Every structure is written in C-alpha cells, then in structure tokens.
Amino acid sequence: MSDSQQENAWSVAAREGVSGDGVGATRLRRLRRTPGLRALVREAHLDVDDLILPLFVTDGEGLCEEVPSMPGVYRESVDLVQERVAAAVALGVRAVILFGIPAVKDSAGSGSYDAEGAVQRSLLLLRESFPDLVLVADTCLCEYTDHGHCGVLDPRADVDNDATLDILGRVAVSQAESGADLVAPSGMIDGQVAAVRTALDRAGHSDVGIMAYSAKYASAFYAPFRDAVQGAPAFGDRRGHQMDPANAGEALREARQDLGQGADMIMVKPALAYLDVVRRVRDSFEGVPLVVYNVSGEYAMVKAACAAGWLAERSVVIEMLTAMKRAGADLIITYHALDVARWLREKR
C-alpha cells in the first residue's frame, strides 16, 4: 500500500471509527475502561458547592416533625433548624433556603413580613452562627395565607397581582433586614422581581440579590411540599399564574423579563421533568447563574422506590443531579443535599 493509500485508509478509519486495518476500534471505550479514566474525561461534575438545602422552619421551640410524604425532611422550630444547618455546614454545604410555617395564617399573609416570624428569626440566628453561609429566603405568600394562594385575593377570589406586589416588597425587605443574602420571589406574580428590587433598593439593601423563580410550572410534583408547609390551596389551583407544563419558549420570555427587572439568578422548577427547558434557558442566557429545584415530588418518588427496594438510592440520586448539571444548571436546590454532600465526601 502506498503512503497516499495508507493515509486515505486512516482518514476513512477516523471517520468511521475503525482501525486502519479494518478491525473495529475501541476508540470511545478506551476512555471508559477504568474509574480513573472515566473521571478524567467526565463532562458534567456534581460538587457539594452546587447544592442548596431547603429547610422548613416553624414557630415554637423543640419542635421536629417529619413530613409524612417526605421521609428525612422535617418541619422544625428555629432552635432545631440551627442544629441541622450545623450538620450541613460541616459537610461543606454553602447555602440554605428557608420556608416558613406560621402558627397563624390570614387572608393577607401578614406573617410573611413579621419581624418575629420563624424565617426572620432563623435568618438572624443563622447569620450570627454561620457568617459565611449563603442564606436564601423564599419570598412568597402561599405558606402564610389561610386560602393557600400566592397573593391576596380580589373580590372574584383571584390573586390580585398589583396588591400582592406591594406585600412582596415588604416581605423581601424584612428578610433582608434579618440577614438574607438572597431573596427568592416564587409566586410567578407579574412584575414581582421589579417590585422586590425597588423595595430593597429604597430600604438600603441594594447589596441583597434576587434569585428569581423565573420558570415555575403548574406541576403535579409539588404535592409533598404543600404537605410540608400545610399550604395547599383551599379552593381552585395556581394554573392562572404558574406556567403551563406544555410550554418551553415561554420560559425564555419569563427569564428575559426577570433579568430585565433586576434578577441576579434565574430558576427552572421543577427540574427532572423539565431538563429540556433547563437546556434552552442555559443556551439563551449564558453566564447567568441558573438554579434548578429538585422538587418534593421528585424526592418523594425516589424515597418511595428505594424504600420498596426497587432502586439504589445513592446511584439514582447522583445520576439525577448530574443530569441536571449536564443540562446546564449551576446550582441545585434539593432535599437530598445532606446525603449527597456525605456521599461526595466519602467518594473523595
């Protein structure tokens, strides 16, 4: 075979993935042969720095109640939340997001901006105890209203968009004053990011960032969360302001609007069934921190299947969260955070 013929054969082999002598090559499999090789060429990396731990805080003292539909997740009083956060920090978790469960709920969700509320008191204590921990506060009314909707209602029992914006501003300011690094408006109320940004700036909290729930879908995967915060809607549903699960392009418009109004981070929620949306948002807004929420229903499904012996929890959870990173997520809010942090530490 002449030099030119050999060179042409190699070119064909490179294109077709075979060796120069016509024998099928193991070109791709060579780099899968050992754990070290696989780690060396891995494209998506899951790290403890990617994790945000959600916490449910309630009024009272010494209270710790497991959420029935979420094994291993608890409603806890402020004093006990500190202990759980200490465990998280020891494992390297750098951020938590707080959801409040007030003793008393009303039609206006006034407990959401109460300086003595469970979230506000938790923020103060956690800021003092863990100065380097990133504190995120959920900024919504659904946990605080007696009707379970994400805003105050108009005479037709629909969410009054503009009246709700004023209250969200008050909530964000109270959370910032208590030590939040980031506030997270999550109700999908039109104009919520602009309202929160304006309120924060006017109150002298221009350094507090906004993690916007930009693409929050009207999902069936939220049921265990509503169990946790005891905040299911008393009537109707939230499809009038949360996104239709059939839509993807709309997520890009929502994210673009939130960034234009001052969001510092954007989010897609839920995560697992919306990885196509995560990818589209990532491709459209390169360089913007992108958060996904591995929601309660996703967590509960895994826990139930593993309890029945049908799945191996560690392997499944790592695979799921790695898929979220592969799709483009920078950060993952997940109830698995403590376990994953522990597994990653053991792996090292």
- Asked, for residue 123, whether it belongs to a domain, the answer is yes
Q: At what angle do helices 192-202 and 161-177 cross, to 10 degrees?
A: 40
Average pLDDT, the chain: 87
pLDDT of 64-92, one tens digit each? 999 999 999 999 999 999 999 999 999 99
Confidence of residue 149 (pLDDT cuts 50, 70, 90): low
Conformational region of residue 99, where left means phi above 0, alpha means psi within -120 to 50, and beta covers everything else: beta
Domain that holds residue 276: 47-347
Is 269 among the residues known to form the active site? yes
Nearest residue to 199 (alpha-carbon basis) of 190, 186, 208, 187? 208
The CATH code of the domain that includes 246 is 3.20.20.70
Res. 331: pLDDT tops 80 = yes
- Tell whether 88 is covered by a domain: yes
Torsion of CA 56, 118, 183, 283, to 10 degrees: 0
Residue of 105, 216, 303, 325 marked active site? 216
CB 69 within 8 A of CB 300: yes
Domain total for the chain?
Answer: 1
16 found inside a domain: no
Name the amino acid, one letter, at 72. G
Classify residue 339 by burial, with Cβ atoms within 10 Å: 0-12, 13-18, 19+.
middle
Q: What pLDDT band is residue 14 in, cutting at 50, 70 and 90?
A: low
The one catalytic residue among 105, 269, 303, 325: 269
Chain centre to alpha carbon of residue 299: 12
- Cα Rg of the chain (Å, integer): 23
Whether the CB-CB separation of 222 and 239 falls below 8 Å is answered with no
Q: How far apart are CA 325 and CA 321, in angstroms?
A: 6
Q: Is 141 or 58 the better-scoring residue by pLDDT?
A: 58
In a domain, 268, yes or no: yes
CA distances from 102 to 113, 124, 229 (A): 11, 17, 9
What is the reported pTM?
0.88
Query: What distance in Å separates the CA atoms of residue 144 and residue 295, rounded to the nearest whole number?
Result: 20
Contacts of 239 (CB under 8 A, 6+ apart): 218
pLDDT, position 29: 83
Two tokens at 301? 């499904």
Q: Is the pLDDT of residue 219 over 80?
A: yes
Pairwise pLDDT comparison (143 vs 237), residue with the higher score: 143
Q: Is residue 4 part of a domain?
A: no
3-state secondary structure at position 240: coil
Distance from the first to the final alpha carbon of the chain: 51
Residue 260's contacts (CB-CB under 8 Å, 6 or more residues apart) are: none
183: in domain: yes
**In a domain? residue 10:** no
* Position 300 in a domain: yes
The answer to whether residue 347 is catalytic is no
Structure tokens at 246: 């059939």
